[in-house]
Amino acid sequence: MQVEPGEYMRIIPPPPVVLVSTLYGEVKNVAPFGMNMPISSDPPLYAIGVRETRDTYSNILETEEFVVAVPGPDLVEQIAATAEALPRDVSEFERAGLTPAESTVVKAFGVRECQANLECRLEWVRQAGDHHIVVGRVVAANIDDRIYREDLSRVVIDPVYHVGAKDGEYAKKGALVGQ
Ligand SMILES: Cc1cc2nc3c(=O)[nH]c(=O)nc-3n(C[C@H](O)[C@H](O)[C@H](O)COP(=O)(O)O)c2cc1C
């Protein structure tokens, strides 16, 4: 069955949703991003797809850093809350009831409730259609002590997916999760 090329994102398995945390002065911004992927292991680079209208985009360009946090299915309500379009000087951390966690290298905060946090410094940005590819170098990475294993290949991260890029529908492995 043919589908519209513009609908392609609904027919490939999506990447797990990440929360991207940035700073606007003292304001701690956090928002969900479905467009995200690892693109290099040496050096360690991570890419996100960001519309230039997002506060996240402006904050990254100004501060040249961001943190990529990995939420689990227990955080679907918080993910939705951080997606609210709030003025740039209002923190989505407080609105969503998420706890900022101090980073080790960058000034932007991680998300305590998330399973892993990647501290990134901006490498480059390039426009790609209606989004910009924002590439960061991972300068520090941490994982929740409760799921840490010495053998990192045995770490089990519980991802949450944005189903078919549809508003408010999230899934974990094979099952929808409610809000
Ligand atoms: C699950 C989910 C995934 C999203 N993925 C993206 C994305 O990949 N790129 C993007 O620009 N916006 C994405 N959005 C929309 C932004 O998160 C939303 O516009 C948010 O308010 C932006 O916040 P900011 O202005 O503080 O950066 C997504 C929203 C949701 C709920």
Ligand 1 centroid – CA 154 distance (Å): 30
Counting residues of the chain whose pLDDT is more than 70, the rounded percentage is 96
34 C-beta closer than 6 A to ligand 1: yes
Ligand 1 centroid – CA 51 distance (Å): 8
Average pLDDT over residues 33-48: 97
The residue whose CA is least distant from atom 30 of ligand 1 is 32
Q: Which amino acid is at 6?
A: G
The torsion of the CA quartet 36, 131, 122, 118, rounded to 10 degrees, works out to: -20
What's the token pair of residue 1?
A: 């069955």
**Which domains, from first to last, does the chain contain?**
5-177 (2.30.110.10)
CB 134 within 8 A of CB 125: yes
Q: Which amino acid is at 81?
A: A
Query: Is pLDDT above 70 for 80?
Result: yes
The residue whose CA is least distant from atom 1 of ligand 1 is 162
31 C-beta closer than 6 A to ligand 1: yes
Atom of ligand 1 nearest to the CA of 92: 26
What's the token pair of residue 152?
A: 């990192």
70 C-beta closer than 6 A to ligand 1: no
CB 50 within 8 A of CB 140: no
Query: Is pLDDT above 90 for 109?
Result: yes
Query: Average pLDDT over the chain, rounded to whole?
Result: 94
Query: Residue 147's CB: how many other CB atoms inside 10 A?
Result: 14
- Residue 166's pLDDT band (cuts 50, 70, 90): low
Ligand 1 centroid – CA 35 distance (Å): 9
Atom of ligand 1 nearest to the CA of 56: 27
**Residue 35 burial (C-beta neighbours within 10 Å; 0-12, 13-18, 19+):** buried
Q: State the distance between the two ends of the chain, measured CA to CA, in whole angstroms.
A: 32
114-158 pLDDT tens trace = 999 999 999 999 999 999 999 999 999 999 999 999 999 999 999
* Predicted pLDDT of residue 174: 67
> Which residue, among 110, 132, 131, 130, has the nearest Cα to 120 in the 3D structure?
110
What does the DSSP assignment read for 38-92?
EEEETTEEEEEEE-TTSHHHHHHHHHSEEEEEE--GGGHHHHHHHTS---TTS-H
Side-chain-facing half-sphere of 157: CA atoms under 13 Å: 19
pTM assigned to the model: 0.96
18 C-beta closer than 6 A to ligand 1: no
* Predicted pLDDT of residue 143: 97
**Best mutation site among 21, 22, 24, 33 for ligand 1 pocket (most ligand atoms within 8 Å of CB):** 33
68 C-beta closer than 6 A to ligand 1: no
